Amino acid sequence: MGEATPKGVYPTLWDWVEQSRAGLFRDHEMQNVMYMEEAVRLTKPKGIKPPDHPAFENEAVTIPKAYVAVLPQGRYWVAENKMAAVIAPDNKIVMDVSMQYRRQDDAIHPVYKRSELPPANSTGDTVALINFIWDNNYYHWLGDVLGRLHLLERSGIRVDKYMVTGKGSPKYKSETLAMLGVPEKKIVKSKPGMHLKPRRLVVPSLATYRLQPFVPHSMPKWASHYLRNAFLSQIGHVPADSPKCIYISRKYAAVRKMTNEDDVSKLLGDIGFQEVVLESLPLAEQIKLFAGAELIVAPHGAGLANLMFCRPGTKVLELFAPNYVHPVYWYLSNHIGLDYYYLFGEGERLPIMAGIGNCDCRTDNITVNMEQLFETVYEMKTGGLE
C-alpha cells in the first residue's frame, strides 16, 4: 500500500514552523530563527558611464530571516523530473522548499499528478535537507547548499545524514564538504523515485528564486561570512608571489564565452594581468588566488563566487552580456567590502522596461569593447574612476 498524495499546502517553510509551534507538535521547540531579516546597504557600482541599468538601482538588498524547521516524520519524495517534494507530518506539501524556483510552467507540482506515492522508506535517522535544484553550479553550491550548514550548526541539532541533489559529481563538492567537516558517509544523494520518511526531517530555510519575471536575490551576508572564515582558515598562507592582477577566463566554458577572448587576454596581459582558468585549479588554489589579488577582471560566471575570499578593498570588474545582467556579485562585493565595477558587452540591449535581464539570455556570449575595457581598467589601476 502506498502513501497518500499531499492534501493542502504550506506556502512557505515558515508557515509550517508557525503551525507546529501553535499546535505544540513534537519537536516544535527545536525550531529557531538564527538570523533576523536584514537590509544590507549597497554602494553604487562604478563604470565608465553612470549605471543606468535597473539591476544597479537598488540602495539596499533585503536578506530574509534564516531559520531551521523540524518535521517529525516528515517525508521527502523525488519525481521523475527530479523535482522534489517536502511533505509535512500532516500531509501538506511545503511549497517553497519543494519548488525552489518559480516560473510559469511550474504552476503544478508533479506530486499532485500522482494518485498515490510509493511506500516511504522509514528510517530512525535525523536527515537534514540541504539540496538545491542548481547545486551543480559552484555559486549555488556554496550559498544555497553549504551556507545552510551554518544554520544547522547553530541549531545544535545532531544530524545523521545530509541530503543533497544527486546531479553530477564536481570535485569541488567533495572538497568543500570535507573542508567543512561533513564526511562522505553522511551524504545521501537524492534520485528520482526516492521516498524517504526519517524520524526527523530537518530543513534549513531557503529563499525561492523567481525566474519569470526574473527577481534576483543575494547570497545571505551571514552565509558569505561563514564560508569565507571557514575556508580561509584552512588554506594556509597566501604566497608572496601570488598575482596581484588576475583575469578569469571562460575559454573552456560551454556557454557565455568571450567572442574576442584573445584580444581581451592580450590587452590585459600587456598591462600586468595573469590569465587564470579556474577549472584547472584545486579549490584551495582558487581561494588563495582571490585572497591575494588586488584587481580582478572576469566575465559574469559562477567562478566569481570566490570573491567572498578577497580582502576588503579589492577591485573587481565584471563583464556582462547586454541582456543578462545579474547583480549577485555586486551584492556579494558589498557583503565583503570590495570595490565593484561593471562593463556591458557590445550588442543591442532590451528596453529598460524589460527588467534587469532575461533568463533566456543567460547563456549569451560577451563581446567586449576593447577601448572601454582599457579605459575602465586604467582608471581602476590609477584610482581615477568614480
Give per-residue pLDDT as tens, 62-94. Answer: 999 999 999 999 999 999 888 899 999 999 999
Range of the domain at 369: 235-382
Whether 229 is in a domain gets the answer no
Do 303 and 205 belong to one domain?
no
Return the CA Rg of the chain: 22
Q: What percent of the chain has pLDDT over 90?
A: 66
pLDDT, residue 112, reads 86
Sign of CA dihedral 276, 281, 282, 285: negative
Compute the distance between CA of residue 288 and CA of residue 153 in angstroms, rounded to an integer. 26
Res 303 pLDDT > 80: yes
Compute the distance between CA of residue 154 and CA of residue 128 in angstroms, rounded to an integer. 13
pLDDT, residue 352, reads 58
Over range 294-308, report the average pLDDT. Answer: 96
Q: For the segment 123-145, what is each residue's pLDDT rounded down to a tens digit?
A: 999 999 999 988 888 999 999 99
Single out the residue of 292, 275, 314 nearest to residue 232, CA to CA: 292
Do 148 and 250 belong to one domain?
no
Do 194 and 246 belong to one domain?
no
Whether 219 is in a domain gets the answer no
Do 245 and 112 belong to one domain?
no
Do 291 and 175 belong to one domain?
no
Last residue of a domain, one of 167, 196, 211: 211
Whether 16 is in a domain gets the answer yes
Compute the distance between CA of residue 298 and CA of residue 313 in angstroms, rounded to an integer. 17
Q: Which helix (H) or strand (E) holds 237?
A: none
Last residue of a domain, one of 178, 211, 244: 211
Question: Which cell is 136 given?
Answer: 551543480
Res 354 pLDDT > 60: no
305, 142 contact by CB (below 8 A): yes
Point out which residues pair with 163 in neighbouring strands.
Answer: 129, 188
Over range 340-344, report the average pLDDT. Answer: 94
Give how far Cα 33 sits from Cα of 10, 154, 215, Å: 18, 10, 24
Do 133 and 261 belong to one domain?
no
Whether 216 is in a domain gets the answer no
pTM: 0.92
* Dihedrals phi, psi of 20, to nearest 5 degrees: -70, -35
